[in-house]
Structure 1
């Protein structure tokens, strides 16, 4: 029984590394969710938003009075004075002691009753800043999703390019094998056979280059996700059908109008204009008087007094309440400068919104045109691929029969490879631009 138990424990411990080494397969949605959770820039934006939340609480707290306690303790030495008279609270103390100690205790309150509405405007500004900080997070999320989608679709394109080049290499190897038979029969020359062999080397290079591009795109995606380790990402690559490529595009104007109401960069610019208006109001409040209320209660003690500490605190206790009015008269142009700068900032924020709207329209227009062109190129490339495939099959068959030479065969083969690459490029350009268009229209990124 012990031997059986030991065997099971050993079997489990030996199998554990195999399970631990199982690599995760990443879908596009996995990449998006991971980036939104782990991205450093996004986390920094969240911390900035949390700081802004603190600023809102601080601005609200400025509406309430402040309260502070102060105390001071002094040791006084009069080396050449035989006696001294000291006022402590309500009594005059005479002392011939050269060293005396006194203490002061005070509780102070200060409350700004009115300062031209500056505090209320500050609260509104901080709330607007909080909304801008939240929108900054949304902007970063959008940027991450767009970059991940671009890389993921580039990986799809590179993966299919690898498959095309491998298939081309297989055709070249089969052609070379047939070429050796024809050379043995005397149907082609040694130079023709050398060309076929050189074509294999060239196709091998193209396979290596395509695989290198695929690894590079995967590395870029891994770096964007900030994944550690040297292992290559294992991705679940979906199959894209023709219906997805040629599907009808949404109307430009519809996408633009939706984006205007949903894109965070546009909403952030609108809040910046609102903030600039509040800044003008705050600058105007600098011309207004400030009314504040102050109050205090205090007492003093002195070591030279014949009264004890409690009696001194009692008899020295005094209370004060007062109201203060401050009217700005001449401030070295400070308020005027602040108001002028606030108005300039308001104009600048309006121009910034207009610029963001133009950039958004230009982006959507470019995506739409690129998607439409890619769809048309894809359809044309399909026709070209069909004719090139037919032509190559015919020439390859004639070459096998010794009716076509090597140059004619390789020309048709290169034409076929070019048509395949053009079709794949147009295919994924259409998918990419359509995916981004849908994202600007408020849809989720998906393939």
Structure 2
């Protein structure tokens, strides 16, 4: 019986441990890392989905433009009734009221044979518009991806700050305890204890502030991802420190060329200029004649009539075919105005293209310089942190021996704290800008 009881207790404990492990695994799975944030944003972002709808609309417009080359086909059927009095041709007297029914049916088709190239121009423009809509989707994806990376790095930075301030509180707590022991030994004064306790209170306040900042950064990321308020959300924080890439940067001109290839903005502006040039061709087509062909077949019947409806349909069958040439002579300067506006739009699109290219290259140059400076700042921060840490360690030993007072110790401590804060900030700053620069170079965003 005791053996069975032991086995039962062990089994129950194993079940509880397994359930706890599974729960922990589920919790870890529920946390959002950078890849999951990017996937969710690219799938659910409202602005991005609107861009995709615009692309679908551009596809429909292209289909419509291509359809202009085809003939149309329309069918019509009518049925009419009338009540009237017929006049007798012999006596010229009106007869009785009679109700009569008549109907007709027809098929009509028409096709444009020549329109000065307007149809071809519209197809070319719709094709470019479709490509531009796809580039707009790509640009929106890129903007959202960069924004998500920035927000995610801000969360990691806030978490690292909170972690750092908690370590500072632990250090301050130990210093207070140590100072109290030194007070009992007569090595320090009560003023020193008061200074240490004030510093501990200040550090605890910093922890509260850092906690609120982390909460705000997580909320900012959730808002950016457009996650519903009621949905559970927690950010995954890597346990290992994220390494900063300190490799030499590529040549700035290579970065320019890669950016112009990979960033959709410039290609989009180029397509807008090409579309404006096609609009000019379409406007000039207004000066040219239009040739169209048409054909129809139809029949009719009337009741009451001496012949049956089927016989009437057969007897009244008619077929028509025709050509129409429309020559513009004067349209109140409408075509001339359209041509003038189209030329202005080409100049405007050209200026927009130049401005887009210059703005993009200026942004790339800024990011390149920030990345370069960030790497140097990070390396300098490492050296500063190591030096200040050594200095603070010596100051603590001197304070314990009574060679320094609390004010001097706090000065050395503050230098060490500032160096640590600078190291954290420079590390995430260098990390962020290098990720953005790599993304412009065509390297996928990962953490």
Give the alignment's TM-score, normalised by structure 1.
0.89
- Kept in 2: contact 1:249–1:434 (CA 8 A): no
Distance 1:83 1:366 in 2: 98
Q: Aligned residue for 1:82?
A: 87
SS of structure 1 residue aligned to 2:188: coil
> Following TM superposition, by how much is the alpha carbon of 1:33 offset from its aligned partner in structure 2, in angstroms?
2.5
- Kept in 2: contact 1:295–1:321 (CA 8 A): yes
Q: Aligned residue for 2:123?
A: 123
Distance 2:242 2:144 in 1: 26
C-alpha spacing 1:446/1:128, structure 2 compared with 1 (3 Å): same
- Kept in 2: contact 1:83–1:98 (CA 8 A): no
Distance 1:318 1:84 in 2: 30
Q: Aligned residue for 2:423?
A: 423
Q: Any idea what the Cα deviations from partners look like across 1:381-405, whole Å, max 9, x if unmatched?
A: 2222122111111111121222211
Distance 1:179 1:51 in 2: 73
Distance 1:254 1:238 in 2: 35
C-alpha spacing 1:350/1:377, structure 2 compared with 1 (3 Å): same
Alignment of 1:41 with 2:47, yes or no, is: yes
Alignment of 1:374 with 2:374, yes or no, is: yes
Of the three residues 56, 63, 67, the one matched with 2:69 is 63
Query: Structure 1 residues 110-119 or 224-233, which shifts more?
Result: 224-233
Q: Aligned residue for 1:91?
A: none
Q: Aligned residue for 2:57?
A: 51
Alignment of 1:442 with 2:442, yes or no, is: yes
Query: Structure 1 residues 327-336 or 373-382, which shifts more?
Result: 373-382
Distance 1:287 1:324 in 2: 17
> Following TM superposition, by how much is the alpha carbon of 1:84 offset from its aligned partner in structure 2, in angstroms?
8.3
1:157-176 matches, cutoff 5 A: 157-176=157-176
Query: Structure 1 residues 369-378 or 229-238, which shifts more?
Result: 229-238
- Kept in 2: contact 1:297–1:317 (CA 8 A): yes
> Following TM superposition, by how much is the alpha carbon of 1:18 offset from its aligned partner in structure 2, in angstroms?
4.5
Query: Structure 1 residues 265-274 or 226-235, which shifts more?
Result: 226-235
> Following TM superposition, by how much is the alpha carbon of 1:408 offset from its aligned partner in structure 2, in angstroms?
1.1
> Following TM superposition, by how much is the alpha carbon of 1:298 offset from its aligned partner in structure 2, in angstroms?
1.3
Q: Aligned residue for 1:350?
A: 350
Q: Aligned residue for 2:191?
A: 191
1:316-355 matches, cutoff 5 A: 316-355=316-355
- Kept in 1: contact 2:30–2:233 (CA 8 A): no
Distance 1:230 1:391 in 2: 49
Q: Aligned residue for 1:90?
A: none
Distance 2:394 2:233 in 1: 41
Distance 2:48 2:226 in 1: 12
1:260-339 matches, cutoff 5 A: 260-339=260-339
SS of structure 2 residue aligned to 1:248: coil
Q: Aligned residue for 1:133?
A: 133
- Kept in 2: contact 1:31–1:148 (CA 8 A): yes
C-alpha spacing 1:18/1:114, structure 2 compared with 1 (3 Å): same
Q: Aligned residue for 1:400?
A: 400
SS of structure 2 residue aligned to 1:270: helix
Distance 1:153 1:250 in 2: 24
Q: Any idea what the Cα deviations from partners look like across 1:151-182, whole Å, max 9, x if unmatched?
A: 22222222221222111111111111112123
> Following TM superposition, by how much is the alpha carbon of 1:300 offset from its aligned partner in structure 2, in angstroms?
1.6
- Kept in 1: contact 2:32–2:233 (CA 8 A): no
Unaligned runs of 5+ in 2: 1-7
Distance 2:417 2:19 in 1: 46
- Kept in 1: contact 2:33–2:235 (CA 8 A): no
Distance 2:89 2:96 in 1: 6
Distance 2:356 2:49 in 1: 25
C-alpha spacing 1:67/1:30, structure 2 compared with 1 (3 Å): same
- Kept in 2: contact 1:256–1:364 (CA 8 A): yes
Distance 1:251 1:238 in 2: 34
SS of structure 2 residue aligned to 1:234: coil
> Following TM superposition, by how much is the alpha carbon of 1:19 offset from its aligned partner in structure 2, in angstroms?
7.9
SS of structure 2 residue aligned to 1:235: coil
> Following TM superposition, by how much is the alpha carbon of 1:245 offset from its aligned partner in structure 2, in angstroms?
4.1
Give the alignment's TM-score, normalised by structure 2.
0.89
Distance 1:51 1:321 in 2: 36
SS of structure 1 residue aligned to 2:286: helix
Q: Any idea what the Cα deviations from partners look like across 1:256-289, whole Å, max 9, x if unmatched?
A: 1111122111111111111111111111111111
Distance 1:230 1:204 in 2: 32
Q: Aligned residue for 1:387?
A: 387
